[in-house]
Structure 1
Amino acid sequence: MDKQLLIFDFDGTLIDSVPDLADAVNAMLSTLGKDTYPIDTIRNWVGNGSRMLVARALVGKIEVLEDELNTDTLDHAEAVFFTAYKDISGSKTVAYPDVDDGLKQLRAAGYTLALVTNKPIGFVPKILQSFGWQELFSAVLGGDSLPQKKPDAAPLLHVCQTLGVTPAQAIMIGDSRNDILAGQNAGMDTLGLSYGYNYGQDIRKLNPTHAFDDFAALVQWILQNDA
């Protein structure tokens, strides 16, 4: 396979953060005097970064029309959301089964690991530290680390350039269309996971190089196909 770099998405791939995100969203909505939503509704809004999550919560649906919300409204609501999310302990955010062991196996096998998420970078270190993963990743990018975010290829190409790896030597691993499209746009192989946040769409319909239903199977496949 001749791959050196494994680039992982975060939310929906390595961790289930929806319970904490839902609490923060509903705290924001309550502060703004709006109706709150059940966690299963909010789960379908996650994956395109904080601003889109906030916009979806404000209008109560996944499709947000361009002129539905003005910039000032969004700026204020996002600031309220950030405050609420920052105040949350993070105790409801959990790693998916076999992720902790799997990441350590891949690192021990000699792969370089990187993390590219659309979550604002300011929230990432605390979560990594809570799982003891801060030393596993050689590069970490958030949704606001660059002007572009997934599905744009720029974050993935930036990581490759930073680590001295070609896109052909890298794999993008994620649970959503943004991850698979970003990898395809960057010209690298993609591995999809079916259990995360993909708006009800089967990850296989996006034509990743391979797809898996659990993290252990993904890790086993990488190790077995290692050149």
Structure 2
Amino acid sequence: MHPLLVDIELVAFDLDGTLIDSVPDLALAVDAALAELGFPAAGEARVRDWVGNGSLVLMERALCYSILAGSGKSDPATGLLERAHAAFLALYGRDPGANTRLYPGARECLDALRGRGFTLVLVTNKPHAFIAPLLEGLGIAEHFSLCLGGDSLPEKKPHPAPLLHVAAHFEVATGACLMVGDSRHDIAAGKAAGFRTLAVPYGYNHGEPVRQTDPDGVVESLAELV
């Protein structure tokens, strides 16, 4: 067992970039939404650097890129972002897990932690409506005692509110909780909430090394936790 798990009772996991590689499906929906509005595609590589702050910010970044790098087309009318976001949600919601896969070691980690009696929760900035279809499709829904999306509370990561909520919900001291994520937002939220923090380097951190966020630990694979 990893030393960071000593005296830990609750482990909070990020989803995208930590447990799952969801960018293939996100990028397809982003590009399809852009196409509906007459903008050029962004492409999977760029979307990979934009994930992490929720779907609205994802589409805002995609629009900014496409307007600047594409035809130069700009729509001065209000509601452009809202229309793009609505299109993305509809398109992504058709099958959010078609090309999404668990990272190596993720299932083994969840199985082992659950078997040892840890309380496992999911805290993601992804809209809550997409969480259950993804977890059920990947066969890991039963591992989590609580799942929070980016729209579950008034604040989302990097704000500590979601983590403080789960600690209070399960009546666990924040010092007995661990936040596991792939981005600076996960680590910032964990630190602000008084959680221990563990980072994985393979996810989505806007092209920046997650080690620069000074987490309490880094593992190359979640299998190293157990």
Q: TM-score, normalised by structure 2?
A: 0.91
Q: Distance in 2 between matches of 1:39 and 1:22?
A: 5
Q: 1:170 to 1:71 in 2, by over 3 A?
A: farther
Is the partner of 1:149 in helix, strand or coil? coil
Runs of at least 4 residues off by over 4 Å: 68-71
1:158-210 Cα shifts (integer Å, max 9, x gaps): 01111111111100000000100000010111000000001111111111000
Q: Which runs of 5+ in 2 are unaligned?
A: 1-5, 67-74
Is the partner of 1:13 in helix, strand or coil? coil
Is the partner of 2:122 in helix, strand or coil? strand
Which stretch shows the higher mean deviation, 24-33 or 74-83? Answer: 74-83
Taking only aligned residues, the RMSD between alpha carbons, in angstroms, comes to: 1.5
Matches within 5 A, 1:14-33: 14-33=19-38
- The answer on 1:105 being equivalent to 2:112 is yes
Query: Who is 1:127 aligned against?
Result: 134
Matches within 5 A, 1:136-147: 136-147=143-154
Native 8 Å contact 1:115 1:141 kept in 2: yes
1:88 to 84, 91, 95: 95
Native 8 Å contact 1:24 1:88 kept in 2: no
* Amino acid aligned to 1:206: T
Q: Distance in 2 between matches of 1:53 and 1:89?
A: 15
Q: Distance in 2 between matches of 1:110 and 1:69?
A: 54
Displacement, 1:69?
Answer: 8.4
Q: TM-score, normalised by structure 1?
A: 0.90
Matches within 5 A, 1:1-227: 1-60=6-65, 72-88=79-95, 90-217=97-224, 219-220=225-226
Query: Who is 1:64 aligned against?
Result: none
Q: 1:168 to 1:147 in 2, by over 3 A?
A: same
Native 8 Å contact 1:24 1:85 kept in 2: yes
Q: Which runs of 5+ in 1 are unaligned?
A: 62-67, 221-227
Q: Distance in 1 between matches of 2:141 and 2:133?
A: 9
Q: Distance in 1 between matches of 2:212 and 2:77?
A: 34
Query: Who is 2:72 aligned against?
Result: none
Is the partner of 2:179 in helix, strand or coil? strand
1:125-151 Cα shifts (integer Å, max 9, x gaps): 000101121111011000000000000
Native 8 Å contact 1:49 1:120 kept in 2: yes
Is the partner of 2:79 in helix, strand or coil? helix
Is the partner of 2:41 in helix, strand or coil? coil
Percent identical residues: 46
